[in-house]
Chains A and B, each alone.
Chain A
Amino acid sequence: AQSVTQLDSHVSVSEGTPVLLRCNYSSSYSPSLFWYVQHPNKGLQLLLKYTSAATLVKGINGFEAEFKKSETSFHLTKPSAHMSDAAEYFCVVSGMEYGNKLVFGAGTILRVKS
């Protein structure tokens, strides 16, 4: 079974409009969840993380994500897209059942139109 599923391989939004990148995970226990961003030919930068504290997590660059256990989701949102947000985004799950290693989704490429 897929450990983490990013529901959209590509998302396109206009500058100034909201961003929604969807992620569902599978975990029998309380997982740790992360969102990373990657600009072309660069390493990955941590946007935010959930580790069983507040379910609404605020990250850098105006991004936030909400942990919904009942829906097994951890969607990433931003109220207003900026051109510099264009990148690839990865949802990541970790926890005891994964040997505490990071398991990556396939990624979502975000395009921002002017």
Chain B
Amino acid sequence: SQTIHQWPATLVQPVGSPLSLECTVEGTSNPNLYWYRQAAGRGLQLLFYSVGIGQISSEVPQNLSASRPQDRQFILSSKKLLLSDSGFYLCAWSVGPGATEAFFGQGTRLTVV
């Protein structure tokens, strides 16, 4: 069966520090991968998605970047965190192409102080 791992679960970082959140998927090949950010009362905002290694699409301009160095690995990064980067970050995967459901990791609570 397929599983998705996302870490760390919680993270407190100072303003201006770098960020690296990692997500890996097991049990499937060539998944579509996603990074979402969730703010209270505002649903989920899609940040990045990837349909293959090295293929990243950015949905919104921001202080973050994403990379996919391997088929089942998706990394969310920042060189210098801002206070506004605080939030709950979720990684997800789906079988593509097509409008199929996505399966989510357990999320990372990021607090920038």
CB within 8 Å of B: which residues of A?
9, 31-32, 34, 36, 41-46, 49, 51, 90, 94-96, 98, 100-102, 104-107
Contacts and interface: CB of A to CB of B under 8 A. Distances in A.
B18 interface: no
B49 A101 contact: yes
Contact of B43 (A43, A49, A90, A95): A90
Interface size class on chain B is 20 to 34
Nearest to B6: A43
B106 A100 contact: no
Contacts, number: 54
A61 to B, nearest CB: 16
Nearest to A107: B43
Task: Please provide the 10 A-B residue pairs with the shortest distance between their CB atoms, ordered closest to farther.
Answer: A94-B99, A43-B104, A32-B99, A104-B43, A104-B44, A44-B104, A106-B43, A43-B106, A100-B99, A95-B99
A42 B4 CA distance: 13
A42 B107 contact: yes
Contacts of B101: 34, 46, 49, 102
Interface in B54-112: 88, 90, 92, 94, 96-107, 109
A43 B105 contact: yes
B41 interface: yes
A47 to B, nearest CB: 10
